Chain A
Amino acid sequence: MLSKEQNETLTRVGPGTPMGDLLRRYWYPIAFQKDLDEWPIKKVRLLGEDFALWKRPEGGYGIMQERCPHRSASMVYGVVEEGGLRCGYHGWKFDCDGVCTDQPAEPDKSAFKDKIRAFAGKAEALGGMVWVYIGPDPAPVLPRFDVFVDPGFKDVSHTVIPCNWLQIMENSVDPHHVEWLHGNYFRFIGEQRGFVAPTGFQKRHVKIGFDPMEWGILKRRVLEGNSEASDDWAVGHPLVFPFSMRVGGAGIEQMQMRVPIDDTHSWVMFYSNHRPIGLTEFPDQIYPESYELPWLDADGEHIVDYIEGQDIMAWVTQGDIADRTAEHIGKSDIGVVMLRRMFKEQMALVAEGQDPTVAFTRQESERIGLPCEKDKFGVNFLEFALSWLEMGSSRYSPSLDTVKKLHIDAAAIRGDMPGQAEAMLLTDTPGQ
């Protein structure tokens, strides 16, 4: 339980708020590169502010405040030119640093344009997405996490949901929800509708643990029938501060991202890199496969017969901003407690004029590997991968068949089709 004031402090992300100041110290994915190849300007909203994002003809991307400093028309309806974005209304032009470089209707010798400066952020491409930074200079380095740069077949489901990003992040340090929401509840739905829910998610949690780490919080679990030697405990997987979770297993490497659009909307993405052990070559892709996942049916009811739909049901039904003055959390929620404290610690550093110390880097790196279990829940790799694909948001992927074939081919190469899993685990260390 929190006081109303603490809940407000932790959930308000707009400019000038303590959490908004902290979140502005990080890079966020904001669009797919494919979108800007189809049309070179896109309106985007991040942390309660609106921006125009554009693809520069000379290469790269730019992002600036949506409203023109002249008379507030939207720059989203501007003209993309070499050297910047020109307002469609009167032709004021801004470069990617926000400098006004042209005011064509003003007298030739006017220095008026030198007085004008628009807010501009920074934009870079990574993993088929455009990432932006809208905080103070100097910007940190955009972290090139393994999922975005490793070879593999990339498949991204995404949607916008009407709730605050923090309650989604709290889900990432709540291991018990897996056995109940994706285990017990999924089994119930399956029994009602006549399908068999994946049994791997139904295993009881015996022990959970959380360790602070450079990139966030490493989450561990021991499930019934497993031991601390299993990947779920020995390796675990991290919440990646402040808006992601690295998860996966069985050759599916995933980054789940929850971009805070504003206080009550989040863009959730399940960015998967399919890289089953045994395969080294993958189908060519110009862009990652990307598609919107449905989460409400025609009657406006939540779609709860797949994993991410169940999560979205829980996140959205908590309310647009979860009322933490009414919650009753227990010992099984200590990960949530730890996350709230981490946010407050990092907010304090920023308020004091310092850089955050978690997931904030100025060191260039070609690839940042994150810890993530390979052997998930002690279930056969192919069995786990297929259940993830068929019972998760990947079932909506236009590339579902391609991805399934990758995992089946890899299992054939490894010789661990279902039933041979134990033998494989005794003779090989997956993913090492």
Chain B
Amino acid sequence: MNPFKKSPTDYPNHVEPPDPIAGRRLTGAHWWDPDRIHHLEDLPRHCPQCGAGLGDGISVEYWEADQRVYHTWCHGCRWTGDIVRVRRMIGHEAED
């Protein structure tokens, strides 16, 4: 054992990293965490058709280029459709 080499846990400001196994599923700090946060922020909470909560329905997020689409199904009224948050209105794209 090298007496001059401190164990990481000997430093007072040491923070144990998340357990790679226990933290793997559904939690954990990863490069994609911003996407997870955006997912939860933008997740539709109410049906656009009947206004019911979507807790018993489902919203699956998928990407079309940089556009995020929530494919949504309402348990209350069975409405099905895609919900997209619009941050900028885009008209015609300039042709190259």
CB of B82 to closest CB in A, whole Å: 10
A170, B7: Cα distance in complex, Å = 45
Report if A340-B32 is in contact (Cβ < 8 Å); known contacts: A3-B40, A323-B25: no
- Which of A7, A326, A330, A333 contacts B32 (CB under 8 A)? A326
Q: Kindly state the separation between the CA atoms of A6 and B36 in the bound complex, as whole angstroms.
A: 13
- Given that A7-B26, A323-B24, A325-B26 are known contacts, is A337 also in contact with B62, CB under 8 Å in the complex? yes
With A323-B26, A329-B62, A341-B60: A1-B36 Cβ-Cβ less than 8 Å: yes
- Inter-chain CA distance A333–B56, complex, in Å, is 23
Say whether A341 contacts B24, CB under 8 Å. no
- Which residues of chain B are near A329, meaning CB under 8 Å? 60-63
- 31-51 of chain B: CB within 8 A of chain A: 32, 35-36, 39-40, 43
Give the dominant DSSP class at B's interface: mixed
A77 vs B59: C-alpha distance when bound (angstroms): 47
Q: What residues of B have a CB within 8 angstroms of the CB of A330 in the complex?
A: 62-64
Contact residue range for chain A? 20 to 34
Q: Are A1 and B60 in touch, CB under 8 angstroms?
A: yes
CB neighbours of B43 from chain A (8 A)? 3
Residues of chain A within 8 A (CB-CB) of B36 are 1, 325-326
Whether a CB of chain B sits under 8 angstroms from the CB of A350 is: no
Whole-angstrom distance between the Cβ of A316 and the nearest chain B Cβ: 14
Contact between chains at A341 and B71 (CB < 8 Å): yes
Q: Do the beta carbons of A328 and B32 come within 8 Å of each other?
A: yes
For B58, give its contact among A321, A328, A341 (CB under 8 Å): A341
Task: Give the chain B neighbours of A6 by CB distance below 8 A.
Answer: 58-60
For the complex, give the distance between the alpha carbons of A325 and B64 in Å: 18
The answer to whether B26 and A334 have CB atoms under 8 Å apart is: no
* A328–B73 alpha-carbon span in the complex (Å): 19
Query: A331 to B60, alpha carbons, bound, how many Å?
Result: 12
Which residues of chain A come closer than 8 Å to B64, judged between CB atoms? Answer: 330-331
Among residues of B, the one whose C-beta sits closest to the C-beta of A331 is B64
A1 lies within 8 A of B24 (CB): no
Question: Which 8 A-B pairs rank lowest in CB-CB distance, beginning with the nearest?
Answer: A1-B61, A344-B58, A4-B26, A329-B62, A337-B60, A1-B39, A337-B71, A341-B73
User: Can you list 28 A-B contacts (CB < 8 A)?
Assistant: A1-B36, A1-B61, A1-B62, A2-B61, A3-B40, A6-B58, A6-B60, A7-B26, A323-B24, A323-B26, A325-B39, A326-B30, A329-B60, A330-B63, A331-B63, A333-B62, A334-B62, A334-B71, A337-B62, A337-B71, A341-B58, A341-B60, A341-B71, A341-B80, A344-B73, A345-B73, A345-B78, A348-B56
State the B residues within 8 Å of A (CB): 24-27, 30, 32, 35-36, 39-40, 43, 56-64, 71, 73, 75, 78, 80
